[in-house]
Structure 1
Amino acid sequence: MDDIIITGNDPPQISHLITVLSHAFDLKDLGALSYFFGVQIVPTQFGLTLCQSKYASDILHRFHMENAKPTKTPSCSSTRLTPYTSSSLPNPSKYKSPLTLSAFSNVDWAGDPSDRKSTTGLLVFLGSNPVLWSSKKQSTVSHSSTKAEYCALASITAELS
């Protein structure tokens, strides 16, 4: 993950922080935030407004539904759903297309020289969006890189279940 949002109500402090960070890291200031992870950010006189209208428009375009009529409630509000009364969708894969789950883990075997414990790194994506990331020292000392990798896989499997 290499994107960061820096925000606050003190513009000089934000500029100072960006300057300090640019001395420690190679960074590119993209200016005012307008769109991030499917969310539009619109500045107003009261602060920031977050909306997903562009994301919704992109989904309508992907499924050729740009001319669909909007409605406040897409179904009858008195309808009661139960798990066994609905019929199957004619093409359910079409509705699952944003839901690719990808998980990655890595470990630095015995990376801490003081106690020889390994650090596990985890990253989980839903589609192209990161939804979970973690870096944590393992609780035990692994006597091999294989054991450290198995501990990392166990951690990410626990997160996914």
Structure 2
Amino acid sequence: MTFVYLLVYVDDILVTGNSKQGIQQTLNLLADRFSVKDAEDVNYFLGIEAHRTSVCLHLSQRKYILNLLHRYDMSNAKPVTTPMASSPKINIHTCVPLSDPTKYRKLVGSLQYLAFTRLDIAFAVNTLSQFMHQPTDAHWQAAKRILRYLAGTPTHGIFFSAKNTLSLHAFLDADWAGDTVDYVSTNAYIIYLGK
């Protein structure tokens, strides 16, 4: 059975599948109706860089990270080793509310898009997303810490091995009422597809 997948965003189209012949037929059909550039291996699509070798596919957002650091004047920031400090825990009652939360919301939104390939920041970004309605200066500092972490790890991303097995492994944990404000549990999970 042949599968061909098309990912379309405005005028950018990514075509892939399990059959080179099926992909080529699809590209020919598109070229009959639309102006299509010559097919080439994907290198960059919607801010995601794809680097393929015979042993792997590595997806990253290095250029997106560097642009983000530049936009928030953090290009020369001193890197940190983790995206979020383990203590003190931030909450809605810490520190002074930001007078204009727009900059915070834009940054956290950008970090949410970045989490597609940077799973290592997902927990920190999710935590900061919970304060979009009323961020404080402590939340802003926590968001800037993520930028400092990214300054030291711009090339990190997702690695797919070419010899990967499709076995699925999942792990889950919870801290059982770990939030000291409303005693909500924090759940975390990690899923491995092969390696």
What TM-score, normalized by structure 1, do the two folds share? 0.50
- For residues 98 and 74 of structure 1, the distance between their equivalents in structure 2, rounded to whole angstroms, comes to 14
Please say if 1:83 is aligned against 2:92: yes
CA RMSD for the aligned pairs?
Answer: 2.7
Tell me what 1:120 maps to.
none
Of the three residues 2, 11, 22, the one matched with 1:2 is 11
Aligned to 1:13: 22
Between the two proteins, the alignment pairs up a number of residues equal to 100
Give % identity: 37
Q: Deviations over 1:65-92 (max 9, x none)?
A: 2111222323321332222223234764
- The one of the two structures with greater contact order (alpha-carbon pairs below 8 A, sep at least 6) is 2
After the TM superposition, which segments of 4 or more aligned residues of structure 1 sit over 6 Å from their partners? none
Question: Cα distance 1:62–1:76, how it changes in 2: closer, same or farther (>3 A)?
Answer: same
- The one-letter code matched in structure 1 to 2:43 is S
- Gaps of at least 5 residues in structure 2 are 1-9, 110-195
Q: Secondary structure at the match of 1:56?
A: helix
Structure with bigger gyration radius? 1
The normalised TM-score by structure 2 is 0.43
- Offset of 1:6 from its aligned partner? 0.3
State whether structure 2 residue 75 is matched by structure 1 residue 66: yes
For residues 97-137 of structure 1, the C-alpha deviation after alignment (integer angstroms, 9 at most, x for no partner) is 4689xxxxxxxxxxxxxxxxxxxxxxxxxxxxxxxxxxxxx
Structure 1 stretches lacking a partner, 5+ long: 101-161
* Alignment partner of 1:55 is 2:60: no
Report the counterpart of residue 146 of structure 1 in structure 2: none
CA distance in 1, matches of 2:87, 2:108: 29
